[in-house]
Structure 1
Amino acid sequence: MIKVVKTIELTSGMVTAAPIYSGNGQLVVGSDVMLTPQLINHLKFYGVEEASIQDHHSGEVHADTGKSNLISYQDRIRSTVEFKHFKKEFLKSIRFLRSHIDDIANLKDKQEEEALLSEILSLFHEMDGESHMLEMLHCIRGIDTSTYAHCLNVAILCRLMGRWLHYSKEDVDALTLSGLFHDIGKSRIPKSVLMKPEKLTAEEYSVMKKHSLYGYEMLKPLSLDARIKRVALMHHERSDGSGYPLGLQTEDIDPFSIIVSIADVYDAMTTDRVYREAICPFEVIATFEKEGFSKYNTQYTTIFLSHIVDTYMNYHVRLSDGSLGQIVLKNKKDLARPTLYLSSKEYLDLSAHPELYIKEII
């Protein structure tokens, strides 16, 4: 049961039933968060007048055990009807891509292109907002780590990015297909290189890098939006000229290619690979903030990472020193270092503690 409570009547121990936003749209407190005196004061500071509250809460982190008293937030999502539907559609889309890869490489007409786009759109069916879709993507990681799954993940992230940038429907569709096709050239890379469970040799890496040229060659004769073709060629280019295959810099890189490159790197780093385990999203965000702004467009990167962090509001995390906490406030100037409510019943602003970082989302 959910009830709406005025902010002045909120008390410690109440649990939010929905995300709470400020008047200008900033996320203040996530859903399923136990309120504390500090959080209630925070809501008042942002002028929030009322909040949707649960009658009972779950998932509180206890200081005496260091463990949640119920299943994790991710496990609760995985048990929902929405996630089961998403998983079914996700796996169906991967099977579609896997079985039609030759057709994708030889598109004959607009109908085939629209069929592929329809597969992506089916994943958004009944999804309650963009943050919910990102939660679905986070919880489905590990189910399939193939190139097909990666391309599908990137396509979904690109579609969300297009919305965040307020692109037209036509541009959002083109950006979605750009993400879907960006690695199509890997179909011409030998499996011995593509699936090698360890670091590639210099010679093997040279072979792998050819996939961007192969992809462009495969898409060039087809009646697709030219930006989709350029993404296949340019998605490994970097703003500082350190990318490949052409060594282009910011002004010469197609904007769609910049967006796809951000989604591509984020998904690749946060997903298990044949040669390493997935990296915690907050470690990836920290890497982007430390190194990425010189390699990627700052505006696009900031928008992308900010929305990613919004998704993890109210998640429980484990820090590098082993302590547990819950993310309660985003730090706009240091996205990898939000404020946490620790199992010791204390608040911790990670931006003031450079020796600590989020090691794991639990």
Structure 2
Amino acid sequence: MRTHVMELQDGDRLKTDVFNNAGLHVLPKGTSIHKEEIALLIRHSIDYVDIELREDGTVLSQLDRSDFQKLLKDNFDSTVKGYQSIFLEALTTGKFNQSMVDDKLKPMLEIIDQKKDVVSLLITFGEEDVNLYNHALQVGLLSYYIASWLGYSRDECYEISKAGCLHDIGKSKIRQELRNHTGPLNEAQLDEMRRHTRYGYEIIRDSMPDEVPALVALQHHEREDGTGFPQGLKAEEIHPYSKIVAVANMYVEMTAPDRLKGRPGLLAVLREVYELGFGELNEKVVQALVRHLLPHFVGKHARLSNGETAMIVWNNPSDYFRPLVKVNEQFLDLSVERQLTLEEIFM
């Protein structure tokens, strides 16, 4: 099966020997592909390789990037509309039908589970106008990825993702004018907005037998150092699922566009979240996000601080934010070229 190097999946196996344009033998037939092999292929400017047919025979993995993005966006839009219905039901009745959550979320997770390019996912979603509904879904989907990186089972990942999608359901009880407020909040407005965590707990408890998603709604603004709300809990008092959703929520929230400053870059936000992992956010969860998100930057294009466009070739395990990049035909190790930094990631 002829496959572009950017579409290779962990564990794919080469069907034939691979040679570069100069005839140098790069990888032998039968090699199991992982991120190291992908980086090697990129360094040798190899675009396509032949791999053995995958056991699952997935069709999604053979879609080109534009087709996959369209499929992703169509399903994302449908899932957002489904969440909007759930939100409106909570607004009018104080509870929602749990089966509606499952019916809308599971098809979306099946798609992203087969195509694990989380950076393309975040870039695609980042092009959308942010509102309460797609924010909640983005948090749910990113929570799914983080949970899988932490080693949770498939069923646990789904439950964490569902809790992430429902984390802001309590905002249905917040006045619409306050929900839509774009400027800084005064103390009274801030106090009212913070009540959404308790409202969310109540709505979910009235809608589902499982208390854990309700705890996530209650605790997703708690912080490891006790500075969060509504209860000022400390690390050992916060549910593990809440810690995951808190990191996903922070990341998605920080990537939202600012009216004056525009949309911040994924990499800049990732750096900020990384720093928060040394006090406010759970370090283990933040490390999982950073360590597993950065390898997905390999093969993506980036803007350097000098204005040049580069392709990320290899991640530096000792300095996460200073990878090996390729500018035209020149390779630059940013851990050595300290005057240069990555400014933005794009497709």
Q: Same fold (TM over 0.5)?
A: yes
The separation in 2 between residues aligned to 1:128 and 1:169, in whole angstroms, is 10
Q: Which residue of structure 1 aligns with residue 17 of structure 2?
A: 6
Say which SS state the counterpart of residue 131 (structure 1) adopts. coil
CA distance in 2, matches of 1:114, 1:170: 16
Check 1:197–1:52 CA distance in 2 against 1; reply closer, same or farther (3 A cut): same
**For the residues of structure 1 that align with 2:103 and 2:259, how far apart are their CA atoms?**
30
The answer as to 2:270 corresponding to 1:270 is no
Q: CA deviation at 1:130?
A: 5.0
Say if 1:285 and 1:334 are closer, same or farther in 2 by CA, change over 3 A.
farther
Do residues 123 (structure 1) and 134 (structure 2) align? no
Alignment match, 1:83: 69
**Aligned ranges 1:199-278 → 2 under 5 Å:** 199-273=184-258, 276-278=261-263
Superposition CA RMSD, Å: 3.2
Superposed displacement of residue 22, structure 1:
7.2
Does 1:361 find its partner at 2:345?
yes
For 1:99, the aligned partner's letter is S
- 1:98-122, Cα deviation, whole Å (9 max, x unpaired): 123143576879xx32331231221
Quick one: structure 1 residues 310 and 323, their matched pair in 2 at CA, closer, same or farther if it must change by over 3 Å?
Answer: same
Residue 297 of structure 1 aligns to which amino acid in structure 2?
N
Q: TM-score, normalised by structure 2?
A: 0.79
The match for 2:117 is: 132
Matches of 1:336 and 1:348, distance apart in 2: 13
Higher relative contact order, structure no. (Cα contacts within 8 Å, ≥ 6 residues apart)? 1
Q: Aligned residue for 2:38?
A: 29
Supply the distance in 2 between the matched residues of 1:22 and 1:117 (Cα, whole angstroms): 36
CA distance in 2, matches of 1:174, 1:128: 15
Structure 2: runs of 5 or more not aligned: 4-13, 51-63
Paired letter, 2:343? K
1:173 aligned onto 2:158? yes
How far off its partner does 1:267 sit?
A: 1.2
For structure 1, which segment, 242-251 or 134-143, has the greater mean C-alpha deviation from structure 2 after superposition?
Answer: 134-143
Q: How does 1:27-66 map to 2 (within 5 A)?
A: 27-29=36-38, 33=42, 35=44, 52-53=48-49
Question: Which one of the candidate residues 72, 78, 97 is aligned to 1:92?
Answer: 78
Number of residue pairs the alignment of both structures matches: 317
* Identity %, equivalent residues: 26
| Long gaps (5+) in structure 1 | 41-50, 55-75
Q: Aligned pair in 2 of structure 1 residues 13, 294: CA closer, same or farther (>3 Å)?
A: farther
The 8 Å contact of residues 198 and 275 in structure 1, kept in 2 or not, is answered as: no
Following the alignment from structure 1 to structure 2, what is the Cα–Cα distance between the partners of residues 261 and 13?
A: 50
